[in-house]
A and B are shown apart, each in its own frame.
Chain A
């Protein structure tokens, strides 16, 4: 210490202190303000928004307005969030083909990268539900039985017991859930597309959404087996009745005609 205090009047002392101070300030700045990465992110984000805006102007603006403010042909997109865009465009519902009671699912025309760009642009218009990460919607390890109970309580009244779809008023409908990806199921619950009510995390926590996704995968997924044979659409007694009439009674009447046509003939008459 003495050595240091003895040299405090050295002509170069001020220079050393200045250098130390600058190094400390710079180091602290570098440590506490991650300016470099933030800048890179912002650049990527604004690039996505830029690209998204271009796509938006071509594919969406005619109905939703040039700034996403909505027109008489389409609702405002301010605050719908990236999850809505990912669902609507990712399932091919948007861009809509024509106005009607409901916009149907159809062929997806954008790549996932383009959908992300569109989502980024729409998300920039106002805060809303964010596109979920895989950890949020992956049904692995979720409780399908619990999900079944939740499904029957919240979903079955429109989507049918196993998600085969159902009718709503004036030509609207709850679409069948066959082949809908876990991500889109999650987003639909989160955002409530078209005629569906939304189930935000405040009313339906993430875990419950996962349970429901697990249930839908279990009863209406690619690996679902029907222990009883053909499901006849899984639509219940109407299709069963039709099948009983046509293939049950129909076959029996055919058999009856065959039996009646082959009678014991004592004499050729």
Chain B
């Protein structure tokens, strides 16, 4: 008894604090389980970190901005220091944003960091999502986390949009009007929805306050929860890694969280903050003083949303202005169809993991990140999707394409209309060909080695290039991927000679499966026999 009390007295202060905390928070078990968590090293695995840190930067700068921003539509006369607006009537929201930009210490820099970080956050999420997509890192067990990530991107778009609308400047007001137009185009309930959202006729006196609560509380609250869930799942699933010597589906090779990744990630946070701060210090964003306060009777050309809403802008811009008049009611197809395509484009990429797993019938766990070339059909689909997205971005900026490349805006609009459908098909075919070509090249490299660039002349006069055999590790990297047999329909009659019924859905699945694993859709990787035969038989050639 006495010895126990003795040792307790001798314990150093740090240990006692840790012990005190552990008794109440259980941090020891948590830390023990996670401190040695391994993260693989690859630059593309840090894209998610860029998103996380820019999100944190947005929250930090956003908190600062809330201290000076007045989410109110009350009309005031500008009396600040920017001369070309003095005496103009504007909402308090615009006025306070002007104050932030010109009077608050560091206000403009913080505002610009906030806005640049938002653009970079969304761009980072887009690239991160594509990285996950093209390496097949969304496969079991990560489908739910893929959806969480997608939801973050989706909510990020709307958080960005509501934030962009808050200063109540002429540009964002036009954007809000655009959104109201889209809401109005919804059959039957459109007008009611619009009246409900704006508290009456557009723009009314309510929308800034409502967008404000959505922008600073509702949407970021949900996003923060999703970010935490996203990270917990990363810990639970462990990180994927690329195949290589010692890197298999059952392990993770990399550096531990503590101390290596803590230092790396912590340092990377400051690097991200630094880069965004430099961008914000160098280039202006959303110069509301130049744009002016919103008035529904005014508009400027080049009224575009931030980039992440650009493809929605494109959909509206290139859609012909069709409408149907029925019994005194107008069905505005010119807006309603884009409004329907907008979520459909996003849903196409969101549900892809589930469609792929249904087509391939692959329900096993995957922890190896695939090389895009080894999944040609998926890669081709992804590139086709990006192509459609990018073509719509061109449509969204058609006026700037016209002025900068001296083209007719009408010609661009027609190009976008046609290539929204044709472009993805071309991209799909071309990408698939490229992937298969790269697979063939890999096969060639495995069997014949790397081209050394050294030309040798044989005694009888023939010139040959010397091929260097690959190292064992490189050979493994190029041949580690699994290849599947295409699915086949069961025989049309069963063992008893009775006709077997195969559903149309199953037939479709088998057909699609062949487009993944059929003869023309993957290049069989070299077998050991082939390799040995070449190595022993012909040698280099």
Interface residues of A (CB under 8 A from B): 101, 143-149, 152-153, 156-162, 164-171, 173-174, 215, 218-219, 226-232, 234-245, 247-249, 251-253, 255-257, 259-261, 263-264
Once the chains are docked, how many angstroms separate the CA of A114 from the CA of B397?
42
Contacts A241-B306, A260-B41 given; does A226 touch B275 at CB 8 Å: no
What does the 1/0 interface line of B307-332 toward A look like (CB < 8 Å)?
10010000000000000000000000
Which residues in B have their C-beta under 8 angstroms from that of A247?
279, 283
Chain B 256-299 interface residues, beta-carbon cutoff 8 Å to A: 260, 264, 267-268, 271-272, 275-276, 279, 281-287, 289-292, 295, 297-299
Name B301's contact: one of A167, A171, A219 (CB within 8 Å). A167
Name B124's contact: one of A144, A161, A252 (CB within 8 Å). A252
- The smallest beta-carbon distance between B389 and chain A, in angstroms, is 13
Which residues in B have their C-beta under 8 angstroms from that of A215?
84
Chain B 505-529 interface residues, beta-carbon cutoff 8 Å to A: none
Once the chains are docked, how many angstroms separate the CA of A162 from the CA of B284?
15
Does B409 belong to the interface (CB within 8 Å)?
yes
Which residues in A have their C-beta under 8 angstroms from that of B112?
228-229
Does B50 belong to the interface (CB within 8 Å)?
yes
Residue of B101, B276, B287 with most partner-chain A CB within 10 A? B287
What does the 1/0 interface line of B397-422 toward A look like (CB < 8 Å)?
11110110011111000000000000
Q: Check if B301 sits within 8 Å of A174, measured CB to CB.
A: yes
Q: Check if A144 sits within 8 Å of B120, measured CB to CB.
A: no
Which residues in A have their C-beta under 8 angstroms from that of B255?
263-264
29 A-B residue contacts at CB 8 Å?
Answer: A145-B88, A148-B85, A156-B301, A160-B300, A161-B171, A169-B408, A171-B406, A171-B407, A215-B84, A230-B283, A232-B283, A236-B291, A237-B307, A238-B307, A240-B119, A240-B283, A240-B307, A242-B307, A243-B279, A244-B119, A244-B307, A248-B279, A249-B120, A249-B123, A252-B275, A256-B49, A260-B41, A260-B45, A264-B260
Once the chains are docked, how many angstroms separate the CA of A251 from the CA of B123?
12
- List the A residue with the shortest CB-CB distance to B282: A229
- List the B residue with the shortest CB-CB distance to A232: B283
- List the B residue with the shortest CB-CB distance to A255: B271
Once the chains are docked, how many angstroms separate the CA of A170 from the CA of B41?
52
Q: Check if B46 sits within 8 Å of A256, measured CB to CB.
A: yes
Once the chains are docked, how many angstroms separate the CA of A252 from the CA of B271?
8
Name A240's contact: one of B42, B84, B295, B306 (CB within 8 Å). B306
- List the A residue with the shortest CB-CB distance to B406: A171
Q: Check if B171 sits within 8 Å of A231, measured CB to CB.
A: no
Once the chains are docked, how many angstroms separate the CA of A244 from the CA of B160?
14
- The smallest beta-carbon distance between A153 and chain B, in angstroms, is 5
Q: Check if B285 sits within 8 Å of A240, measured CB to CB.
A: yes
Name B403's contact: one of A161, A167, A228, A244 (CB within 8 Å). A167
Contacts A249-B123, A255-B272 given; does A145 touch B108 at CB 8 Å: no
- List the A residue with the shortest CB-CB distance to B289: A227
Chain B 64-105 interface residues, beta-carbon cutoff 8 Å to A: 78, 83-88, 101-102
Contacts A226-B284, A231-B284 given; does A248 touch B275 at CB 8 Å: yes
Which residues in B have their C-beta under 8 angstroms from that of A230?
282-284
Once the chains are docked, how many angstroms separate the CA of A162 from the CA of B302?
11
Q: Check if A236 sits within 8 Å of B310, measured CB to CB.
A: no
Does B116 belong to the interface (CB within 8 Å)?
yes
A171-B408, A230-B282, A240-B286 known, 16 other contacts, Cβ within 8 Å: A145-B83, A145-B85, A152-B295, A167-B301, A170-B408, A227-B284, A228-B284, A231-B287, A238-B302, A238-B304, A238-B397, A243-B283, A248-B116, A253-B47, A256-B46, A256-B50
Does B184 belong to the interface (CB within 8 Å)?
no
Name B84's contact: one of A148, A168, A229, A243 (CB within 8 Å). A148
Which residues in A have their C-beta under 8 angstroms from that of B304?
236-238
Name A148's contact: one of B45, B292, B397 (CB within 8 Å). B292
Once the chains are docked, how many angstroms separate the CA of A244 from the CA of B272?
13
Which residues in A have their C-beta under 8 angstroms from that of B268?
255-256, 259
Interface residues of B (CB under 8 A from A): 41-47, 49-50, 78, 83-88, 101-102, 108, 112, 116, 119-120, 123-124, 127, 170-171, 255, 260, 264, 267-268, 271-272, 275-276, 279, 281-287, 289-292, 295, 297-307, 310, 396-400, 402-403, 406-410
Residue of B45, B120, B283 with most partner-chain A CB within 10 A? B283
- List the A residue with the shortest CB-CB distance to B276: A248
Q: Check if B302 sits within 8 Å of A166, measured CB to CB.
A: yes
Q: Check if A162 sits within 8 Å of B290, measured CB to CB.
A: yes
Q: Check if B108 sits within 8 Å of A227, measured CB to CB.
A: yes
Contacts A240-B286, A259-B268 given; does A149 touch B88 at CB 8 Å: yes
- List the A residue with the shortest CB-CB distance to B164: A237
Q: Check if A228 sits within 8 Å of B285, measured CB to CB.
A: yes
- List the B residue with the shortest CB-CB distance to A170: B408
Which residues in A have their C-beta under 8 angstroms from that of B279?
243-244, 247-248, 251
Which residues in A have their C-beta under 8 angstroms from that of B272?
252, 255
Q: Check if A245 sits within 8 Å of B307, measured CB to CB.
A: yes
Once the chains are docked, how many angstroms separate the CA of A256 from the CA of B53?
13
Name A168's contact: one of B44, B260, B397, B409 (CB within 8 Å). B409
Q: Check if B290 sits within 8 Å of A219, measured CB to CB.
A: yes
Once the chains are docked, how many angstroms separate the CA of A226 from the CA of B108?
12
Q: Check if B409 sits within 8 Å of A229, measured CB to CB.
A: no
Contacts A101-B408, A241-B119 given; does A263 touch B84 at CB 8 Å: no
- The smallest beta-carbon distance between A213 and chain B, in angstroms, is 12
- The smallest beta-carbon distance between B300 and chain A, in angstroms, is 4
Q: Check if B307 sits within 8 Å of A241, measured CB to CB.
A: yes
Which residues in B have their C-beta under 8 angstroms from that of A166?
301-302, 399, 403
- The smallest beta-carbon distance between A53 and chain B, in angstroms, is 35
Q: Check if B83 sits within 8 Å of A248, measured CB to CB.
A: no
Which residues in A have their C-beta under 8 angstroms from that of B408?
101, 169-171
Q: Check if B85 sits within 8 Å of A235, measured CB to CB.
A: no
Which residues in B have their C-beta under 8 angstroms from that of A237?
171, 286, 304-307, 310
Q: Check if B301 sits within 8 Å of A159, measured CB to CB.
A: yes
Once the chains are docked, how many angstroms separate the CA of A70 from the CA of B124?
58
Once the chains are docked, how many angstroms separate the CA of A238 from the CA of B281?
19
Once the chains are docked, how many angstroms separate the CA of A28 from the CA of B286?
70
Which residues in A have their C-beta under 8 angstroms from that of B287?
226-228, 231, 234
Once the chains are docked, how many angstroms separate the CA of A158 from the CA of B299?
9
Once the chains are docked, how many angstroms separate the CA of A234 from the CA of B267?
34
Which residues in A have their C-beta under 8 angstroms from that of B305?
237
Q: Check if A218 sits within 8 Å of B84, measured CB to CB.
A: yes
